[in-house]
Amino acid sequence: MKKLAYTISILLLASSAFAQDLTDGLRYSNYHISGTARSAAMGNAFGALGGDFTSLSINPAGIGVYRAGEITITPSIGNISTDGTFLSNKVNDSRYNFGFNNLGYVATIPTGDNSESGLVSLSFGLGFNRMEDLSFNRVAQGANSNHSLLTYFTDNVNSSGLAPSNFDPYYERLAYDTYLINYDKDNKEYYNNITDNKYGQSQRKSTQQRGYINEYVLSMGANFNHKFYLGATIGIQDVYAKEDANLYEWDAKNNIPYFNEFNFNTYLKTTGSGFNFKLGAIYKPTDQLRLGIAFHTPTFYRFTEDYDSYMNSSISYSDGTENYKANPDQPGTYDYKMQTPFKTIFSGAYIIGKSALISVDYELVDYSTIKLKDGSNGYDYYGENQDIKSAYKTTGNLHVGGEYRVNPNFSVRAGYENYGNPYNAKYNGVENPNSDNSYSTISAGLGFKQGNFFIDTTYKRISYDEHLKAYIGSPNMVYYEAKQNNFIITFGYKF
């Protein structure tokens, strides 16, 4: 395989740019859906409510609730701000994101009279919902007293016994070609000046990622007596993620002989597609109470990764300073497959009088069932899948929402979401700092309608945190705390 760089302790926190591991499995399995503004305002708790295009990706029986056809489009704009704490130093980076959360079309066909028995209507839906936003900027900086990327590279080449011509062209070979790693003929080993001079260099890791997971849906639902609804969705996932990362190490105190600085840059673009099937039901035992259940099969993905890297250095000699650059002969490409977990969603909603409602969804997901498979060079990912089983667990995601209709043309809404932590407390006997991670949202919105037209607006606040290694092989963690403010607006027309 092109690069498998594991450390047994806390494997899930590795940050190798070019290896598929349990980090990738979670990234493309842990959805935080964004759809219409109404659904977002109510915490995406639409499993028992339906009648909103986002419900086609939650509980497809929701399409059966429609009484008329509908067209929706949902643009959004947001700002994500991330604090990175590394070696007791905190810095911040942020970016604005603009995109489309939803585009949907629903057609409803009456099939009979509104009676106590029989099929009342059939509904069909086509469009997309955004399942995950993968765009952010991150930075972390500190002075390191116990490690360097060059330590990892030097240990690798000394343990491998390989000649420089056989070094990994995307990693160690770059350091050798930029004179950051050198060979000691007397001791017959490779060395670097940062490690030999007991560190003290400054480090900065900067990451820019752009991407999304969109789900294109083809749905069908049926309404029986306005009391029982069935629905099914075929979901086609579209994944795009591009990451540019830079690790910059420099001798800020000018106390490391020869060494001045280096930059190690990596580029990774992941594109992929997948498919799944969703089946759901909604039942109204009374006019006020609605109960829902939905089942999501795993998404079966096929991914392609395009990757590259380069390195430059500044080295001082007695007769002056030299700058060196190195890059591989050509970019790399790798294909693999992935299977996400099965998901079950239980839902309930209660209508209060004629003006208010409250809704709750609870999702059960077993992240230990994520599977990587079929690497393009025949790699079977057996070890990685065993690590996934050990590192992840079953967890629950809670969605709560409410709506109050002030008058026939104006509504107010609010919601809350809390996503359960997928990490086990320990992995291979090692405490996992990510076992205390949290991901939650709060939201509020307004709804306006006039005739067949409607406009929904929502403010959504997302908060989450995680620990990641600063770079491949690093024993030092970066603690990232992110706050995201999104403004969402849906334009709709009923016909």
Can you read off the two tokens belonging to residue 19?
A: 């290896």
Dist. CA 171–CA 117, nearest whole Å = 68
Please give the span between the terminal C-alpha atoms of the chain, in angstroms, as a whole number. Answer: 54
pLDDT, one tens digit per residue, over 337-373 is 999 999 999 999 999 998 999 999 999 999 999 999 9
The reported pLDDT for the residue numbered 17 is: 53
pLDDT, one tens digit per residue, over 194-218 is 999 999 999 999 999 999 999 999 9
How would residue 490 be classed by pLDDT, with cut points 50, 70 and 90?
Answer: very high
Average pLDDT value over all residues in the chain:
94
Ramachandran bin of 386, using left for φ above 0, alpha for ψ from -120 to 50, beta for the remaining angles? alpha
Does 1 reside within a domain?
Answer: no
Which residue has tokens 């977990």? Answer: 341
Does 6 reside within a domain?
Answer: no
Does 164 reside within a domain?
Answer: yes
Dist. CA 456–CA 412, nearest whole Å = 10
pLDDT, one tens digit per residue, over 422-466 is 999 988 788 899 999 999 999 999 999 999 999 999 999 999 999
**CATH number of the CATH domain containing 301:** 2.40.160.60
Q: pLDDT at residue 16 above 50?
A: no
- Asked if 461 contacts 50 with a C-beta cutoff of 8 angstroms, the reply is no
pLDDT, one tens digit per residue, over 157-183 is 999 999 999 999 999 999 999 999 999
The reported pLDDT for the residue numbered 453 is: 98
pLDDT, one tens digit per residue, over 291-301 is 999 999 999 99
Can you read off the two tokens belonging to residue 13?
A: 């926190």
Does 3 reside within a domain?
Answer: no
Does 76 reside within a domain?
Answer: yes
Nearest alpha-carbon partner for 274 in 214, 334, 231, 220: 214
Dist. CA 74–CA 236, nearest whole Å = 19
Handedness of CA 53, 482, 248, 1 (dihedral sign): negative
Q: For 191-208, give the DSSP string.
A: E-HHHHTT---EEEEEEE
H or E element in which residue 27 lies = helix 22-27
Counts of helices then strands in the chain (DSSP H, E): 6, 23
The reported pLDDT for the residue numbered 370 is: 98
Does 239 reside within a domain?
Answer: yes
Instruction: Quote the percentage of the chain above a pLDDT of 90.
Output: 92
Which residue has tokens 């992929």? Answer: 272
Q: pLDDT at residue 11 above 50?
A: no
Dist. CA 346–CA 361, nearest whole Å = 6
In terms of residues, how long is the chain? 495
Q: What angle do CA 255, 260, 7 make, to 5 degrees?
A: 90
- Total structural domains in the chain? 1
Dist. CA 469–CA 137, nearest whole Å = 16
Q: Provide the residue range defining the domain that includes 427.
A: 11-494
Does 105 reside within a domain?
Answer: yes
What is the per-residue burial (b if ≥16 Cβ within 10 Å, else e) of 176-188? Answer: bbbbbbeeeeeee
Does 67 reside within a domain?
Answer: yes
Query: Average of pLDDT values for 282-310?
Result: 97
Instruction: Quote the percentage of the chain above a pLDDT of 70.
Output: 96
Q: pLDDT at residue 18 above 90?
A: no
- Asked if 65 contacts 78 with a C-beta cutoff of 8 angstroms, the reply is no
pLDDT, one tens digit per residue, over 91-119 is 999 999 999 999 999 999 998 766 667 89
The CB density around residue 480, as the number of other CB atoms within 10 Å, is: 22
